[in-house]
Copies of this chain bind each other. A is one copy, B any other.
Amino acid sequence: MRRLALTDEDVAGRKLVLSWFRDAGLEVTLDRIGNVRARRSGLDDSLAPVVIGSHVDSVATAGRFDGCLGVLGGLEVVRTLNDQEVRTLRPIELAIWTEEEGCRFGTDMLGSAVAAGRITEAQARSLTDAGGISVGAELDRHGLVGPVAVPVTPPAHYLECHIEQGPILEAGGYEIGVVTGVQAILWHRLTIRGRAAHAGTTPDALRHSATLAAALVTVKLDEMVKSGRYGALLANVGRFDTAPNLVNIVASEAVITIDLRNPEEDAIQRASADLLAYCREVEQRTGVTIASEITAHTPPVQFYDEVMDEVEATANRFGLSNRRIMSGAGHDAGEMAAICPTGMVFVPGKYDGISHNPREYSTPKACADGINVLFQCAVSFANRS
């Protein structure tokens, strides 16, 4: 339930999965940023592989399906090909991407972004967690710096099966989601500096509360979401730290993170600009200073018609009800779409699709449906010359 990227728990989970990969006869290698590649040979190993991937790192209060379904589903595809003694024209490779969640080092899809070339290896290694420990130091400590160069050689196709993490498929009674792309994601970190003061004797007019300023921004974001002026905007203030964080002292500093999502890049940029403009208002009103930093930004991603059509046709052939759906969450597939034909298969989650929560759940049937579609698509693409 808690395997923050590159912690001992995350690495223990990786090792267990890699032992299963090797049992399945896969040849395991690592790239420079710790991404796993596990290869099943094809009839012609000179051809670019079809890659099936996802992640096994988790948020701090995770569910059991986010990421793991795609990795273990890929393993099931390989095991099934082995059991049936089926050879494919192209190699099939399973990928496990490093720090997909971004919860520890502040940038999500980190490993796949480095593999796809959006972020350099040096930039990624220099990122640090709340304790000041760097990605590079953790990769070195765990011996996860592998020989495969980044950016990686583009695969023939990239496929990923994932739980929806939302309520749409379950509410509509759909068994499969044909993912059309990933909505834009923009993360801000605001560092607010006020002035520590005695909470009993400092007149209100002389207070510069960093906590009040952070609260005003938090409430404003909720108003922006509900205003409808930014389309399907979502916003979350996830981290909210204040100092000195004591009952009778006006806070001198607050650090908050803001997670914005929107299917439209222009709408998320308008929301971001209006938010920062409001920060200037808050500075005027409360006498604090607000420094903002963009810690993550991924524009909307459009997946490939070729892959969407294959997923849709396969689901229909199996008689699985399906609809096209845009992903609300970021995924490694969004990074891979920059370098090769890419698509995703969504399966419904229970309880309004609750995710990043221990209650996250997809039924065995829902998971099997998704992996059956993944299998057929992978084999189909792996047999194309």
Contacts and interface: CB of A to CB of B under 8 A. Distances in A.
A197 B248 contact: no
Interface stretch (A35-43, A78-86, A236-244): A236-244
Chain A interface size, as a band, is 35 or more
A139 to B, nearest CB: 21
Given A200-B330, A357-B196, A236 B219 contact: no
A309 interface: no
Contacts of A353: 201-202
A363 interface: no
A245 interface: yes
Contact of A201 (B164, B204, B245): B164
A259 interface: yes
B234 A251 contact: no
Nearest to A237: B211
A54 interface: no
Contact of A198 (B165, B218, B247): B165
B246 A241 contact: no
Q: Which among A103, A198, A239, A261 has the highest number of chain B CB atoms within 10 Å?
A: A198
Given A215-B219, A218-B215, A247-B239, A165 B59 contact: no
B166 A198 contact: yes
The 5 closest A-B pairs by CB, nearest first: A201-B328, A166-B201, A215-B218, A199-B236, A215-B215
Given A197-B355, A216-B219, 9 more contacts: A165-B200, A167-B206, A198-B356, A201-B327, A201-B328, A202-B354, A215-B216, A247-B259, A248-B259
